[in-house]
Amino acid sequence: MLIQKKTINPLKGWQVDPAVINYLGKDLQRPECILTEEDGTVWSADARGGLVKMNHQGEQVIINPFKDTGSNLDTFDQKADHARYITASGSLPNGVCFDVNGDFIIANWGTNHIERMTREGKLTTLVSEIDGRPLGKTNFPLRDSKGRIWFSVTTQTEPWSDQINTRATDGYIALMDEKGARIVADGFCGTNEIRFDEMEEWLYVVESTGWKISRLRVQEDGRLTNREVYGPSQLDGFPDGFAFDAFGNLWITLIFTDVLIAITPDGEVLNILDDSNPDTKKQLFEAYHNGSVTPEILGVTKGTIAPWMASLSFGGPDLKTVYLGSLRGTNVPYFKCPVSGQKMIHWK
Q: Are 79 and 104 in contact (CB under 8 A)?
A: no
Residue 186 confidence (pLDDT) above 80? yes
Measure Cα distances from 9 to 158, 211, 299 in Å: 43, 25, 37
Please give the single-letter amino acid code of residue 67. Answer: K
Domain ranges of the chain: 18-336
Q: Are 31 and 325 in contact (CB under 8 A)?
A: yes
Residue 156 confidence (pLDDT) above 70? yes
Residue 74 confidence (pLDDT) above 60? no
Kindly state the DSSP code that residue 80 receives in the 8-state scheme: G
How would CATH label the architecture of 18-336?
6 Propeller (2.120)
pLDDT score at 90: 79
Mean pLDDT score, 223-247:
98
Closest CA to 194 of 225, 234, 239, 231: 239
pLDDT band (50, 70, 90) for residue 295 = confident
Q: In what order do the strands lie in the sheet with 123-127?
A: 93-98, 104-108, 113-117, 123-127
Burial 307-329 (b: 16+ CB within 10 A, else e): bbbbbbbbbbeebbbbbbbbbbb
Q: How far apart are CA 211 and CA 284, in angstroms?
A: 13
Q: How far apart are CA 277 and CA 223, in angstroms?
A: 41
Mean pLDDT score, 169-188:
97
Q: Which helix (H) or strand (E) holds 278?
A: helix 278-290
pLDDT band (50, 70, 90) for residue 3 = very low
pLDDT score at 99: 96
DSSP 204-258: EEEEGGGTEEEEEEEPTTS-EEEEEEES-SS-SSEEEEEEEBTTS-EEEEEETTT
Angle CA 241–242–243, to nearest 5: 145
Q: How far apart are CA 235 and CA 261, in angstroms?
A: 10
pLDDT band (50, 70, 90) for residue 252 = very high
